[in-house]
Structure 1
């Protein structure tokens, strides 16, 4: 005969003797000192952590005062913790020869972690186009995933599932137009070599947007054409490359012809290669020093010419 008694759950000893204040305090987030070796970078982190002058200044500050703002991390199923916010502080702590750093550990799903990771970096004053492009894409994807779920209200992005499109909300949050956000996201279709050239300002934003519509193999061929002609695409050239690609007529030879065109801006430009100038300077001179010396000589010549005209 089965017992009709209900299963009784007994409170633990800790629960019996703990106070309500203590139980509430246990639920609060706490700052923990976690070894740097146990903190791993966020998967596909789009923001570059460079050992530049700003990083060295941060490292000096941490060496003197420690990390003043705790990082945010989440438990890593494979061990340790995945950094959500604080990648630069982590690197600066390494350079400052610290062994641990203060961290707030939160249990976050992928979408919530992505949104926090992006938001904590978008506030930086200077962002590379590639950083902004991949950050917008990652956050928009996370917001869309949240919108597809009916068991939450998208608290992390500050809106309920009221039918408002994620890209509208993102545009409001980052202070950019929807079209501009889409243009940035489109840059993620560029191959890494072309994206690097956008970051280095060798290719402007508008031509880069047009080039992103080329197939990946066409983009690789374009690198070849750019190298052989020692030129980068103007907006009109990029638009033609896109047009021929969409028509299925774009070839490497056509790219070389287009890239070999004389641009209007080149008509008033005089170019000297370093090999041409090298014979006029000591071997120890770098291209930068040669340029600076030439500018000084031209300025001195211009002043002399002005004095001669005044006589």
Structure 2
């Protein structure tokens, strides 16, 4: 096998795994496409070992057909390979959505540090609209760290959060309590308080016979 054939065989084998992270899929697609471009006329090793000719079609069109995905979807995944390792990790963790990540991938390596710092400071990832704005400023050569922080300060699609210092409520929970357990118990306590206050209000309106 040539180097290109070996790469294609290895990539195809990896695609058979049940669970593939977005970053893994991105690099697998990218490696497969590059191997096909280098290989030239031989573009498929999966169909009964028959060498198919491209018939003038682009490698990316042939690859999308072989993978059973749309060309746009394949290109979106390949675009993730331009993200910094730190931002790509956020995509794998599910903290950063696909569309914002794709737009962020058009920022330079240095510019990608800006949203990463803002994510850490604000504990929130940018929306698609916000990364589109960052991309526009980047094209104009005007994207700065301060501007990215300003863009991310207002996030209309993010639910407002209310934070309570853990030390203030620690005595009400066991040390091993999870975040969901703590949240659930606080909500339940507030519901019980609301019910008690409603009963007191109702009793306050009753006139007792003498």
Q: CA deviation at 1:116?
A: 1.2
**2:97 paired residue number:** 204
**1:191 paired residue number:** 84
Asked if structure 2 preserves the Cα contact closer than 8 Å seen for 1:231 and 1:260, the reply is: no
**1:269 paired residue number:** 160
Count of matched residue positions in the alignment of Structure 1 and Structure 2: 195
In the aligned structure 2, how far is the partner of 1:224 from the partner of 1:304? Answer: 40
Distance 1:270 1:182, change over 3 A: same
Asked if structure 2 preserves the Cα contact closer than 8 Å seen for 1:281 and 1:290, the reply is: no
TM-score using structure 2 length: 0.81
In the aligned structure 2, how far is the partner of 1:277 from the partner of 1:223? Answer: 26
| 1:234 paired to 2:123 | no
**1:162 paired residue number:** 55
Asked if structure 1 preserves the Cα contact closer than 8 Å seen for 2:54 and 2:62, the reply is: no
Q: CA deviation at 1:141?
A: 0.7
Q: CA deviation at 1:281?
A: 1.2
Structure with a larger share of its residues in strand: 1
In the aligned structure 2, how far is the partner of 1:224 from the partner of 1:133? Answer: 24
1:294 maps to which of 183, 197, 204? 183
TM-score using structure 1 length: 0.56
Q: CA deviation at 1:140?
A: 0.6
SS at match of 2:125: coil
In the aligned structure 1, how far is the partner of 2:149 from the partner of 2:96? Answer: 17
The higher radius of gyration belongs to 1
Asked if structure 1 preserves the Cα contact closer than 8 Å seen for 2:127 and 2:157, the reply is: no
**1:281 paired residue number:** 170
In the aligned structure 2, how far is the partner of 1:124 from the partner of 1:112? Answer: 20
Asked if structure 2 preserves the Cα contact closer than 8 Å seen for 1:143 and 1:157, the reply is: no
| 1:181 paired to 2:74 | yes
SS at match of 2:118: helix
In the aligned structure 2, how far is the partner of 1:115 from the partner of 1:123? Answer: 13
SS at match of 2:40: helix
Q: CA deviation at 1:180?
A: 1.0
Q: CA deviation at 1:229?
A: 3.0
SS at match of 1:214: coil
In the aligned structure 2, how far is the partner of 1:131 from the partner of 1:242? Answer: 24
**1:35 paired residue number:** none
| 1:225 paired to 2:114 | no
> Which stretches in structure 2 are left out of the alignment for 5+ residues?
203-210
CA RMSD, Structure 1 to Structure 2 (Å): 2.6
Distance 1:182 1:155, change over 3 A: closer
Q: CA deviation at 1:299?
A: 3.2
In the aligned structure 2, how far is the partner of 1:297 from the partner of 1:161? Answer: 62
**2:33 paired residue number:** 140
